[in-house]
């Protein structure tokens, strides 16, 4: 048996380098950029008006004027006019190209237009005002976004704005889930005596989806060695990561470990000194990662958040996610029993954290109310009210 800290360190040191894939910009949300994006264009693309108003061309040799004849109009999308006549104005709208010799643009609200002559309020003719200058934000050839950035909606928009249609990202792993258990029935079907409704496949799929991962293959197997083996083989032939739920404990009908060993999966560790989730197995076959999490629903999800998700994130090129852990004051005292480290379902706010009732490894109801796990290392299972504890926040919806 390994400690939580040992297990995490073994796992994170065994993650293969992320693969690189080409991805269309519009479907790259949540991927990590695998190279700097160099802009082929300046942003703004051309000098343009920032407001609806009047582009003014001054003859700087003359006395400054406040009235100008309006000699034309430019709206967004119009082709640029190279130059305008000195001491004249052009009615211009936001986003329209300003002629090269524009002195400034004055917003409409500071002007009066009568009989083709515009009069400007005093003090509003200021060199360069209300002009978004070409290349002000970004020069052609500059780095628009750096390698390592997680693509957000704004990043997608920005990439489109520099004309980019495809980027290089770190590939996301293909993931397969196998749930094992004779007793499991999908919700909606009729229960027979002794059966229960299946929840791990649903929970794990949702947790994966929430963090931006899709599931390539979902299988179910009864507790029969051959059936478990067939399902594992099927997933390993199609996926980079296999998550198995149930059948990894020491019961007579727990075949998962045997099957994995028989298929030459190399054990990284088996059994972690933690509660819930002690019978966690993590192994590798070539570059494939295999997680066998215990079937108890709360234990399965704790193992997912603590081990599977950080591994997937590293495999997908994400930077270390220290931000999901915090130190907070415990609202209540708590006295843990046993000799294993504890992960406790809890509700965290900005200042403090409250450990919930219902910590059993099969209790998903308390998990459903929680937004965090409190971690108590095995040499510090008792805490007093107000004591600082380590808190892992769940990803937000």
From the CB of 181, what's the least distance to ligand AMP, in Å? Answer: 4
Pull the structure tokens for residue 370. Answer: 């929680």
Alpha-carbon distance 20 to 90, whole Å? 51
Find the binding residues for ligand AMP in span 294-313 (CB under 6 A): 294-297
Site string for ligand AMP, 117-156 (x = CB under 6 A): ----------------------------------------
Query: Judged by CB, which is closer to ligand AMP: 28, or 179?
Result: 179
Query: Judged by CB, which is closer to Mg ion: 294, or 317?
Result: 294
Q: Which helix (H) or strand (E) holds 168?
A: strand 166-170
From the CB of 186, what's the least distance to Mg ion, in Å? Answer: 16
246 belongs to the binding site for ligand AMP (CB under 6 A): yes
Query: Judged by CB, which is closer to Mg ion: 182, or 210?
Result: 182
206 belongs to the binding site for ligand AMP (CB under 6 A): no
Q: How many residues does the chain have?
A: 397
SS3 226: helix
Query: Judged by CB, which is closer to ligand AMP: 99, or 295?
Result: 295
281 closest CA partner among 264, 305, 260, 311: 260
246 belongs to the binding site for Mg ion (CB under 5 A): yes
44 belongs to the binding site for Mg ion (CB under 5 A): no
395 belongs to the binding site for ligand AMP (CB under 6 A): no
Alpha-carbon distance 297 to 367, whole Å? 10
Pull the structure tokens for residue 118. Answer: 């515009």
Q: Using a CB cutoff of 8 Å and minimum separation of 24, what contacts does 253-260 make?
A: 253/182, 253/223, 254/223, 255/180, 255/223, 255/224, 255/225, 255/228, 255/229, 256/180, 256/228, 256/232, 256/281, 256/292, 257/281, 257/292, 258/225, 259/225, 259/228, 259/229, 259/232, 260/232, 260/290, 260/292
Phi, psi dihedrals of residue 285, rounded to the nearest 5°: -130, 110
386 belongs to the binding site for ligand AMP (CB under 6 A): no
Identify which range of 54-62, 106-114, 177-185, 313-321 contacts ligand AMP by CB under 6 A. 177-185
- Name which of ligand AMP, Mg ion, none residue 198 binds, using a CB cut-off of 5 to 8 Å depending on partner kind: ligand AMP
Q: Do 311 and 317 form a contact (C-beta atoms < 8 A)?
A: no
Binding residue for ligand AMP (CB under 6 A) from 132, 144, 169, 198?
198
Find the binding residues for Mg ion in span 158-187 (CB under 5 A): 181
- Name which of Mg ion, ligand AMP, none residue 380 binds, using a CB cut-off of 5 to 8 Å depending on partner kind: none
Placement of tokens 């933690």 in the chain? 274
Q: Closest residue to ligand AMP, Cβ-based?
A: 295
SS3 19: coil
183 belongs to the binding site for ligand AMP (CB under 6 A): yes
Alpha-carbon distance 197 to 266, whole Å? 32
Identify which range of 18-26, 57-65, 93-101, 290-298 contacts ligand AMP by CB under 6 A. 290-298
365 belongs to the binding site for ligand AMP (CB under 6 A): no
- Where does this chain bind Mg ion (CB under 5 A)? 181, 246-247, 295
- Where does this chain bind ligand AMP (CB under 6 A)? 179, 181, 183-184, 196, 198-201, 245-247, 249, 251, 254, 294-297
């Amino acid at each position: 048996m390994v400690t939580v800290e040992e297990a995490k360190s073994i796992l994170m040191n065994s993650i293969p380098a992320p693969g690189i894939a080409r991805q269309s910009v519009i479907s790259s949300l949540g991927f990590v950029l695998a190279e700097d994006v160099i802009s082929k264009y300046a942003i703004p693309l051309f000098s343009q008006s920032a407001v609806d108003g009047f582009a003014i061309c001054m003859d700087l040799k003359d006395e400054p004027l406040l009235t100008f004849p309006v000699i034309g109009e430019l709206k967004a999308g119009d082709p640029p006019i190279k130059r305008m006549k000195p001491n004249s104005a052009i009615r211009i709208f936001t986003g329209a190209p300003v002629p090269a010799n524009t002195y400034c643009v004055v917003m409409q609200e500071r002007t009066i237009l009568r009989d083709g002559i515009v009069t400007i309020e005093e003090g509003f003719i200021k060199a360069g005002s209300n002009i978004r200058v070409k290349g002000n934000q970004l020069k052609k050839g500059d780095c628009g976004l750096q390698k390592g950035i997680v693509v957000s909606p704004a990043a997608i928009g920005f990439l489109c704005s520099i004309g980019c249609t495809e980027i290089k990202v770190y590939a996301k792993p293909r993931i397969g889930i196998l749930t094992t258990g004779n007793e499991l029935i999908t919700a909606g079907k009729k229960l027979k005596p002794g059966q229960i409704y299946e929840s791990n496949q649903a929970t794990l799929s949702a947790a994966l989806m929430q963090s931006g991962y899709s599931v390539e293959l979902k299988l179910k197997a009864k507790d029969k060695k051959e059936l478990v083996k067939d399902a594992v083989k099927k997933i390993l032939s199609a996926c980079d990561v296999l998550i198995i739920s149930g059948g990894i404990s020491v019961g007579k009908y727990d075949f998962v470990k045997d099957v994995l060993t028989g298929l030459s999966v190399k054990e990284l560790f088996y059994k972690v000194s933690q509660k819930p989730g002690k019978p966690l197995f993590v192994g590798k076959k070539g570059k494939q990662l295999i997680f066998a999490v215990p079937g108890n629903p709360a234990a399965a999800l704790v193992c997912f958040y603590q081990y599977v998700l950080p591994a997937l994130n590293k495999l997908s090129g994400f930077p270390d996610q220290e931000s999901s852990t915090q130190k907070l004051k415990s609202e209540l005292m708590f006295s843990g029993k046993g000799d294993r480290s504890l992960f406790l379902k809890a509700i965290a706010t900005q200042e403090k954290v409250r450990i919930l009732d219902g910590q059993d490894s099969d209790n998903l109801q308390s998990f459903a109310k929680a937004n965090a796990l409190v971690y108590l290392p095995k040499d510090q299972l008792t805490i007093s009210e107000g004591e600082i504890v380590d808190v892992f926040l769940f990803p937000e919806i």
